Structure 1
Amino acid sequence: MTQGTRAAPGISRAPGGKRPRAVRMSVELPLWRALTGYRIITLGYALALFFLNYREYAHPLGAALYMGALTVWMLLTWNRVTAPERCTRGFLAADLGIALAGILLTAVIDSAERIASGAATLPSIWAGGAVLGCAIKGGWRWAAVGSTLVAVANLVERGGAARDTIHNVLLVWVSSIAIGYIVEVARASERTLARALQIEAATRERERLARDIHDGVLQVLAMVQRRGAAIGGEAAELGRMAGEQEIALRTLVAGGLLPPQRSAAQLAEDAELVRTVTPAPAAAPSGPCDLQALLAPYAGATVSFAGPGTPVLLEAAAAAELAAAVGAALDNVAKHAGDGARAWILLEDEPGEVIVTVRDDGPGIAEGRLADAEREGRMGVALSIRGRLRDLGGSAELVSVPGQGTEVELRVPRAGA
């Protein structure tokens, strides 16, 4: 694209399994292709007018020389307006110069009677293509300059401001400036869209990292803090440092900023301590897998699991994320529902989607507690559950009544459903 605008790149695979090629999406490309067609068609129209009126020119040989030069120019440069990179400023200046030369030569080559009667100039409406090229390339300002030069040349060729000349001049001037303005608006919209897509991609990546932090590092830090406080001694100091890092990470996850309170050496030492107790991430599975096999290990003395009698196949990545969301829901039950609380997992295999329901008989969630937890940096529901389901194209509905437990319904659509 021109004017410092870049379209968001896409990837498409060439036929025959060849190397993928980059495809640029741009609102300008159809305009350039339309301009190419316009120049070719209007050249044919100008040549047809020339052949029909050949004997009526005062100097037909001069008209033939100009039309021949115009045809050669088009044969050499027809593809210069198929893409913005090829349509340079030098080409636009030369193209506009040829159009202006043809308009001014008409006053010398054609007869005074034909000019007075409103006969078409040698390039005829082909000259509009040069003005449209300026409009698409440089916006309404370039269009105003190009159309003004064409208007002046037409007035000079006609020898006065005749009504039909004024009408044609105003039509070219207004339409070219309008097209140039539309192109500028389209460019601005495309830049805004590209920026929005970048922000959305960055936000999704940040949420994914936040989920990983919540499911791994934060839980390990919380465990170290509790165990250190219980053991005492040097372990208590380790627990205190783990608690500080947990607060810092929760603040970052929530999008806030935390002023540094420890030196770089201390932070490096703390990070090394955390790495010694953080489990290594498992490799991501590939291919379809049975979701029941991922959910069944959650069953235990206080957790019941029920599912259909047949395997529930789901894309491996989606199944892993859904199982992680179920694990996050069960973690919330263990932390907030109390020691004696029970939980039930129900897996339903529908034709177009997979539904997993996690229910507990705990005290429920007080109104406004989830919003308070997000502000405090505790993003278990927002990221580990709802964020995962949103990335899968599904949904997570949480229903809780104080004193009657909590129910989380997770829905994931099947691929192609």
Structure 2
Amino acid sequence: MGIEGSFWRAIAVYRVASLGYAALLLAAADGYQRPLAGWLVIGVMAVWTAFTTVAYSTARSRALLVVDVLVTLGCMLASPYVQGTGAEQPGLMPITATWVAGPVLAWAVHGGRRAGALAAVVLSLGDLWLRGLHEFNLSAPVNGSVLMILAGTVVGHVARLTKDAEERLQRAVEIEAANRERERLARGIHDSVLQILALVQRRGLEIGGEAAELGRLAGEQEAAVRELIRSGPAAAERDSAGLVDVGARLRRFTTPSVTVSAPATPLPLPAGQAEELIAAVGAALDNVRRHCGEDARAWILAEHDGDSITVTVRDEGPGIPAGRLREAEAEGRLGIAQSIKGRIAGLGGTVGLTSVPGQGTEIELVIPVHG
């Protein structure tokens, strides 16, 4: 149930206490022409209080909340019949008394301040009708209606803030548990896998030949595993709003031949956009390896200027000859055209490509940030 369950238990207690207060008012009041009808209304209120106490503890559907308002409004509008025709309409005290605020609190906890205020307005209109505003009696008291609207707004706002705080706390606990588990696994990996990869890299370079290639691959895997351990699980890179830190995801490309430079502050993007941007960067790195060799150096630079996120992938390869991209598209090789430009264009961004033969290639990916 969590913190929200505490709100619903408090509402149940409020309903019971308000029911007792309404019964005391009926028992102590004089002048009711139909007291038996009044006790019948109190009985309906008691049954509905018991039902909602159980119902709200298991299910909180919109239909139940609507029926709650209608039942309360019906009990309140029965007050003129209970009091009789001889009573003064403007000074009528509804038979429900403070019990009428129960649905307002329920709507506020379920839907927030707007829902609470809306339920309060509906019930306040019924209360004001009983107090004489239907006859344009502007002297009728409205304090109860104002207090009910304020209560619905404030309680709804507090309930929403409390739910958000609980979600943030739960996420913090999950991240802390994930970090502890990662640290435990990191210790075991460091004492076994990383040391073996480092040994393979060192001995492979010493032996030379094909063993040197194995050593190089082992070194890349060692760097990748270290970065994976350092950056943590992908779930920890997503905040409560569903935004992904692009900088943290880019750091996973770090290898002995790939250097990633990203700001310490998050580079937030919605999960879908972040995945497309990361895929485009991965395609750019694949092109570097394919055309410049496995050992080619590459640099990834990410920055955020407030309106857009810019990711630059640069290499020191032979560059792209003039007209080569058009020839590749004509041959059906659409790596840059679709894997990179197509993805970025789908996000509303732009791709800039600068290449000088013999001096390398630079691809600039710009993604607009909305809100």
Closer/same/farther in 2, CA of residues 112 and 245 from structure 1, 3 Å limit: same
* Alignment correspondent of 1:220: 196
Distance 1:44 1:231 in 2: 90
Q: CA offset at residue 113 of structure 1?
A: 5.9
Match of 1:132 in 2: 105
Indicate yes or no: 2:53 matched with 1:78: yes
Q: 1:20-53 deviations in whole A, cap 9, x for unaligned?
A: xxxx5x2222211111111111111111222223
Contact 1:107–1:115 (8 Å) recurs in 2: no
- Residue range with higher mean Cα deviation, 114-123 or 217-226: 114-123
Alignment match of 1:62 (pick from 37, 43, 48):
37
- 1:151-300, aligned counterparts within 5 Å? 151-160=124-133, 165-232=141-208, 234-255=210-231, 256-258=251-253, 259=285
What do residues 40-86 of structure 1 show as CA deviations (whole Å, max 9, x unaligned)?
11111111222223x621333432332232233334443233x2x43
1:143 aligned residue (116, 141, 156)? 116
Contact map agreement 2:12 2:49 (CA 8 A) in 1: no
Q: Partner of 1:35 in structure 2?
A: 11
The 2-side partners of 1:168 and 1:142 are apart by 18
Larger radius of gyration: 1
Structure 1 residues 232 and 115: alpha-carbon distance in aligned structure 2, compared to 1, 3 A threshold: same
Q: Which amino acid aligns with 1:243?
A: G
Q: Is the 8 A contact 1:36 1:79 kept in 2?
A: no
Asked if the contact 1:140/1:179 (under 8 Å) is kept, the reply is yes
Where 1:79 maps in the other structure, the secondary structure is helix
What CA distance in whole angstroms lies between the structure 2 residues aligned with 1:64 and 1:252?
70
Q: 225-234 or 119-128, which moves further after superposition?
A: 225-234
5+ residue gaps, structure 1: 1-23, 264-417
**Deviations along 1:344-368, whole A, 9 cap, x unmatched?**
xxxxxxxxxxxxxxxxxxxxxxxxx
Q: Report the secondary structure of 1:94's partner residue.
A: helix
Q: Measure how far apart 1:169 and its partner are.
A: 0.9
1:360-395 deviations in Å (ceiling 9; x for gaps): xxxxxxxxxxxxxxxxxxxxxxxxxxxxxxxxxxxx
Of 111, 115, 118, the match for 2:91: 118
Closer, same or farther: CA 211–153 of 1 in aligned 2, 3 Å? same
Instruction: Indicate whether 1:89 and 2:65 are aligned.
Output: no
Runs of 4+ with deviation above 6 angstroms: 260-263
- TM-score, normalisation: structure 2: 0.56
Kept in 1: contact 2:90–2:140 (CA 8 A): no
Given residue 247 of structure 1, which amino acid in structure 2 is its aligned partner? A
> Taking structure 1 as the reference length, what is the TM-score of the superposition?
0.51
Structure-2 separation of matches of 1:107 and 1:113: 10
Q: Distance in 2 between matches of 1:254 and 1:226?
A: 23
Query: Which residue matches 2:318?
Result: none
Q: CA deviation at 1:150?
A: 1.3
Shift of 1:140: 1.2
Deviations 1:174-205 (A, max 9, x none): 11211011111111222222223333333333
Cα distance 1:244–1:158, how it changes in 2: closer, same or farther (>3 A)? closer
Partners of 1:199 and 1:227 lie apart in 2 by 38
Match of 2:321 in 1: none
Counting matched residue pairs gives: 237
What code does the residue aligned with 2:252 have? Answer: L
Change beyond 3 A, Cα 1:138–1:238: closer
Task: Output one character per residue of 1:82-115: Cα deviation in whole Å (capped at 9) or x when no partner.
Answer: x2x4333232222221221122221233145644
**One-letter code of the match for 1:89?**
R
Where 1:28 maps in the other structure, the secondary structure is helix
1:109 partner amino acid: V
Task: Return the alpha-carbon distance in structure 2 between the equivalents of residues 232 and 72 of structure 1.
Answer: 86
Identity across matched positions, percent: 37
